[in-house]
C-alpha cells in the first residue's frame, strides 16, 4: 500500500490543501485511500471526509500511547490501498511547542511513515534548501522522503527542483500553483467546517486535477511504498447493547470517530440527534453525549428549541449518564452569549453563563485529576484532555484539577457526579483505557440492563 505523512515547517503552509488534493487524486486513480490527522484537530478530518465520503481518524500521541496509536492506524488503514496522514503545526512542534512529543515527527517515527514536506517557497530558493537540510538533521531519522511545493509558479518549481535535489538529496514530487479560487476560508477556530465551504467539491477537484499534472507518480510511489495491512479481527461487543444519544449537527460537530467506535466496542448503540431541530431525545436512550462544536454560532436556534432544552435538562436532573465537552458543556449552562453579544437561554442543567473572551482560553493539552469520584473517573485518577475555545463560563467547576504538561500551570475545572462529566476539556476515550466501558456500563445500570 501507499503510506505517507504530510508535514510542514509551520502552520499555514497548506497541509490541508495538499492532503485533500492528494486524497482526491489517489481516489481517482483507484487506490481507495483513507485519511488520518495528527493531533486533536476536529476540522481537518471533516475536509478529508468530504473528499472520501468516509470518516478520517485522529492519531494523537498525547491523548493515547504509542501502542494504541499503532493499533488505531492498523485498524483504520487495513484493506486500503493508500493511507495519508496530515501533520499538525510545524514538523517538530509537539506538546507545548518545546518538545517533539505528540508532534508530526513523533507520529511519523512511531508509525515509520515517509514524510512529504509541504513548503510554500515565497521569495526563497537556496535558503529553502537550507531549511530542508535543517529539518533533515534535527532528529534522526527524519523520515523525510520528498517535497511538495504549494503556491509555487511553474517557473519557480522548475528552478527549485534541481537546487533542492542537489543540496538535500530529496526529490520535488509535485507542486501546486497559486489557486485563490480553491482556497479554504478560516475563522476563530481555524478553517470553516467542510459543510460550510461553498463549492467544496469543485475546489478539491480543481486541486486534484492540478496535482495530477505535476505529481511525479513513479517517484511518489517509490518514496511512499509500505507493507499492506490486513483487516483486523475485532472482539465481540460485550453485554447487552444500550442506547446512547449523541448530539450531531452544525452546533455539535466536534467528535472523535475513535471515541464513537470505543463506545460501540463497549456495547453502545449510538443514536444521533440534533439539539437544533429535534424536539426530544432518541427513544430509549440511557446515556447522553454532548460533544463540542459551535453552539455560540447557533445560540438563537438552540434557545428557541425549548422542548429540547427541557429534555436535556430533565435527563441530567434524573441522573442519566451524561458526558458534555466544551460546546456541550456550554449548552448545559444557564445562558450563552452569541457572536453579537446577545445572551440566550440554554439547558440550565449547570450554573454557568457562557460568554465570549475574544481569544483562545486555556489552549492545548493538559491532564486532569479527579478530586471527587464521578461518572468517568474515580478520585485521584487522571486522564489527558485537550482544550480549544474562545468562549468561557462564569462557573467552570472545580471537581477536577487540570495541569499543563510542560509549564505545570494548574486550575480547577469541570463537574463530576455519578452521572455526569461536564467540562471544557475534550476527552479521547479510545486512548484512555476503560473510560468508554465505564460510560456505557453506567448507562446500562441507569436503564436497568443487566
Q: Answer yes or no: are the C-beta atoms of 270 and 313 closer than 8 Å.
A: no
Distance of alpha carbon 316 from alpha carbon 334, whole angstroms: 14
Q: Answer yes or no: are the C-beta atoms of 197 and 184 closer than 8 Å.
A: yes
- The kind and range of the H/E element at 85 are strand 82-86
Distance of alpha carbon 394 from alpha carbon 183, whole angstroms: 37
Instruction: Respond yes or no: is residue 271 known to be catalytic.
Output: no
Q: Which residue has the cell 486541486?
A: 207
Torsion sign over Cα 440, 365, 350, 307: negative
Query: CA 185, 107, 220: angle at the middle one, nearest 5?
Result: 75
Alpha-carbon distances of 396 from 292, 413, 446, rounded to whole Å: 15, 5, 26
Q: Answer yes or no: are the C-beta atoms of 174 and 216 closer than 8 Å.
A: yes
In the sheet that 400-403 helps form, which strands lie side by side, from edge to edge? 382-387, 364-370, 400-403, 410-413
Which of 4, 152, 326, 396 is the catalytic position? 326
Among residues 173, 274, 205, 187, the alpha carbon closest in space to that of 21 is found at 205
Overall residue count recorded for the chain in this entry: 450
Among residues 28, 29, 31, 5, the alpha carbon closest in space to that of 18 is found at 5
The helix/strand count (H/E) of the chain reads as 13, 23
Strands 364-370 and 335-337: unpaired
Q: Which residues are known to be catalytic?
A: 326
Amino acid at each position: 500500500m501507499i503510506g505517507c505523512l504530510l508535514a510542514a515547517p509551520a502552520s499555514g503552509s497548506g497541509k490541508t490543501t495538499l492532503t485533500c488534493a492528494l486524497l482526491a487524486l489517489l481516489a481517482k486513480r483507484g487506490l481507495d485511500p483513507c485519511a488520518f490527522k495528527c493531533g486533536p484537530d476536529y476540522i481537518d478530518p471533516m475536509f478529508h471526509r468530504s473528499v472520501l465520503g468516509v470518516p478520517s481518524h485522529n492519531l494523537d500521541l498525547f491523548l493515547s500511547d504509542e501502542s494504541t496509536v499503532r493499533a488505531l492506524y492498523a485498524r483504520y488503514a487495513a484493506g486500503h490501498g493508500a493511507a495519508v496522514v496530515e501533520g499538525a503545526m510545524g514538523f517538530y512542534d509537539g506538546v507545548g511547542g518545546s518538545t517533539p512529543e505528540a508532534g508530526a515527527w513523533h507520529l511519523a517515527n512511531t508509525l515509520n511513515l515517509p514524510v512529504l514536506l509541504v513548503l510554500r517557497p515565497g521569495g526563497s530558493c537556496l535558503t529553502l534548501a537550507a531549511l530542508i537540510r535543517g529539518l533533515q538533521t534535527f532528529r534522526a531519522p527524519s523520515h523525510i522522503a520528498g517535497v511538495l511545493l504549494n503556491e509555487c509558479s511553474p517557473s519557480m518549481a522548475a528552478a527549485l527542483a534541481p537546487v533542492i535535489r542537489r543540496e538535500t538529496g530529496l526529490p520535488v514530487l509535485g507542486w501546486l500553483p497559486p489557486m485563490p479560487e480553491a482556497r479554504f476560508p478560516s475563522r476563530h477556530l481555524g478553517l470553516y467546517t467542510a459543510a460550510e465551504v461553498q463549492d467544496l467539491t469543485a475546489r478539491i477537484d480543481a486541486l486534484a486535477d492540478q496535482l495530477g499534472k505535476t505529481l511525479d507518480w513513479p517517484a511518489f510511489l517509490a518514496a511512499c511504498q509500505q507493507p499492506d495491512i490486513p483487516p483486523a479481527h475485532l472482539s465481540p461487543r460485550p453485554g447487552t447493547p444500550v442506547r446512547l444519544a449523541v448530539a450531531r449537527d452544525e452546533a455539535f460537530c466536534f467528535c472523535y470517530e475513535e471515541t464513537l467506535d470505543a463506545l460501540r466496542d463497549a456495547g453502545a448503540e449510538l443514536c444521533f440527534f440534533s439539539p437544533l431541530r429535534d424536539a426530544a431525545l432518541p427513544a430509549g436512550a440511557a446515556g447522553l453525549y454532548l460533544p463540542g462544536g459551535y453552539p455560540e454560532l447557533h445560540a438563537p436556534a438552540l434557545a428557541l428549541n425549548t422542548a429540547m432544552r427541557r429534555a436535556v435538562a430533565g435527563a441530567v436532573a434524573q441522573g442519566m449518564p451524561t458526558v458534555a465537552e466544551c460546546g456541550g458543556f456550554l449548552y448545559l449552562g444557564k445562558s450563552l452569549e452569541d457572536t453579537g453579544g446577545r445572551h440566550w437561554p440554554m439547558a440550565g442543567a449547570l450554573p454557568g453563563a457562557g460568554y465570549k473572551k475574544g481569544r483562545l482560553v486555556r489552549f492545548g493539552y493538559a491532564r486532569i485529576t479527579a478530586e471527587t469520584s464521578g461518572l468517568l473517573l474515580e478520585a485521584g485518577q487522571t486522564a489527558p484532555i485537550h482544550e480549544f475555545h474562545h468562549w468561557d463560563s462564569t462557573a467552570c467547576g472545580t471537581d477536577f484539577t487540570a495541569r499543563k504538561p510542560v509549564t505545570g500551570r494548574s486550575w480547577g475545572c469541570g463537574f463530576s457526579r455519578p452521572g455526569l462529566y461536564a467540562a471544557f476539556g475534550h476527552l479521547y476515550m479510545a486512548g484512555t483505557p476503560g473510560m468508554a466501558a465505564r460510560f456505557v456500563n453506567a448507562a446500562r445500570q441507569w436503564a436497568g440492563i443487566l
